[in-house]
Amino acid sequence: MKRSTSPSDAGGFAFVLFGGTGDLAMRKILPALYAAHREGLLAPDGRIISVAQTALDARGYLQWVNEHVKPHLSGAPANDAAWRSFLERIAYVALDASQSEAFSSLRDTLGAQRGQRIFYLATGPSLFVPICRALASVGLAEGARIVLEKPLGYDLASSNAINDAVGEIFAEDQIYRIDHYLGKEAVQNLFALRFGNSLFEPLWRREWVESVQITVAEELGVESRGNFYDQTGALRDMVQNHLLQLLSIVAMEPPKSMDADAVRGEKLRVLRALKPLTGHEIRQNVVRGQYHAGATGGVAVPAYRAEPGVRHGSTTETFVALKAEVENWRWAGVPFFLRTGKRLADRVAEIVINFRAVPHSALGAMALRPGSNRLTIRLQPNESIRLSALAKEPGMGMNLRGVYLDLAFDQFFQQDRMEAYQRLLLDVIAGRLALFVRRDEQEAAWRWVAPIIEEWVRPDAAPKLYTAGTWGPAAASALLARHNTCWLEEEN
């Protein structure tokens, strides 16, 4: 594999943020960089250069940061001294990213800045290739690292086209395809749980696991992203990346080390082992939904088709539930149920490992009930791990009741937990690739969802409607009922 050459890290870094006035920069990237700065995790002479088309001077941009970024800071309130010193790191370049000749001003701003150059593309995917080519044309691509936000393409062909073009300029070890779910503390603890403890590994296989559920549910609708979302949908926006990445981590074999290629190689093996879905299997095992008017938190909300930016009569899905199977020795026959959607009953992201019931119960039917023994890894809103089991109720008789053991991270670890974007941005600066998606992983995921995309082109494949504020179409519950199980929807 071609390897990149990098400038010396001795002089800190230059973090160039394209889309510097966008929603992602405002809510996630700049707050994450501030948190790292406040905690002393950034090199003192590291610089942040925001790039956007908005006509602002340096002072105007800092005013924008003060007004729009400060409300999104997590943890402790901004310390005035730390905030002022953070603002001193920031410069602003106004340019049209689609015009390569404008990039000379960016080169001049970087000037003699020493250390690693990082270009974060928080833009639409249509600008990825023009930006990369423009960086190369002014001599800024050599040795740099490039961070690509999702969505990386619309399907396998468009994803390959972007990867091919970017790959002509940057080596694979210079490209950081970001999936912020991989930076979450609970996902990191999934590695620790599986590969740092002998307790679970003997049980992490088909003989003991009945089913696996992965849910990423949102209460919000499309908000101001109607134009984008209507061209994307839940399958491309969530399943192809976030949910399949989580599935691959749950199902992967123990890597020989936590080296980037060792970890990503094991995830790739899982993605390539996913059972392909045909037209009939898609109709049986994939549920496509779209919300109509309802209520969230007691407040009336409109139907998806009435949201700003959504096409009249749109058939874009806002909900997907499906059954996947991993065809290998460890997982053969174990269903993996994936579910994601907008305007659902709660905001939650979790992984549920349902263990098999005992083969024979002398203690009554309770011990034979599916899901009596399960491991729940909660990713949001609060990160935790819960092991559910059965115990005898106090008193006469042998009546069983569900109990649980909780690992609540905020009780065990007093220090503030690092937000996903903060961890991932620090990994980019340090050159650590393990938590970023390799090209062959991305291709395998697109290849698996491609038949579903093709099936949904059929005129009779319109999404099933569900009321906003519920858990989606009834067909999603029926999908699990056929396997004698149900979604875990209420757990304190």
Question: What DSSP line would sit under 95-154, residue for residue?
Answer: --TT-GGGGHHHHHHHTT--SEEEEEE-S-GGGHHHHHHHHHHTT--TT-EEEEPSP--S
Give the start-to-end residue ranges of the domains of the chain: 9-177, 182-415+438-481
pLDDT of amino acid 343? 97
Is the Cα dihedral 111, 107, 24, 351 positive or negative? negative
pLDDT of amino acid 297? 86
Of the candidates 156, 128, 232, the residue with the CA atom closest to the CA atom of residue 441: 156
Q: Distance (Å, rounded) from C-alpha 327 to C-alpha 272?
A: 9
Amino acid at 284: Q
Looking at CATH, the fold of the domain delimited by 182-415+438-481 is given as Dihydrodipicolinate Reductase; domain 2 (3.30.360)
In this structure, what are the phi and psi dihedrals at residue 349, rounded to the nearest 5 degrees? -135, 125
30: three-class secondary structure by DSSP: helix
The secondary structure element, H or E, covering residue 194 is helix 185-195
State the greatest distance between any 2 C-alpha atoms of the chain, in Å, as a whole number.
83
CA distances in angstroms from 276 to 324, 445, 472, listed in the order given? 9, 11, 25
Angle, vertex CA 306, rays to CA 26 and CA 478, nearest 5: 95
- For the record, the structure tokens of 370 come out as 């599916």
- CB–CB of 180/27 below 8 Å? no
Cβ-based neighbours of 441, under 8 Å, separated by 6 or more: 245, 248, 264, 267, 268, 271
Count of all residues that appear for the chain in the document: 492
Q: Distance (Å, rounded) from C-alpha 362 to C-alpha 370?
A: 16
- CB–CB of 128/158 below 8 Å? no
Please check whether the domain covering 9-177 is classified as CATH 3.40.50.720.
yes
Say which residue the tokens 């009554």 belong to.
Answer: 364
Q: Distance (Å, rounded) from C-alpha 451 to C-alpha 446?
A: 9
Amino acid at 396: M
DSSP state letters, 198-223: TTTGGGSSTTTEEEEEEEEE-S---T
pLDDT of amino acid 265? 96
Instruction: Tell me, yes or no, if 292 is annotated catalytic.
Output: no
In this structure, what are the phi and psi dihedrals at residue 24, rounded to the nearest 5 degrees? -65, -45
pLDDT of amino acid 12? 86
Output Rg (C-alpha) for the chain, integer angstroms.
24
pLDDT of amino acid 2? 44
454: three-class secondary structure by DSSP: helix
pLDDT of amino acid 433? 95
Q: Distance (Å, rounded) from C-alpha 482 to C-alpha 489?
A: 18
- CB–CB of 18/94 below 8 Å? no
Q: Distance (Å, rounded) from C-alpha 356 to C-alpha 210?
A: 5
pLDDT of amino acid 206? 96
Q: Which residues of the chain have pLDDT under 70?
A: 1-11, 75-78, 360, 362-368, 408-410, 412-416, 490-492
Given 72, 242, 312, 483, which residue is catalytic?
242
- CB–CB of 421/29 below 8 Å? yes
The secondary structure element, H or E, covering residue 38 is helix 30-38
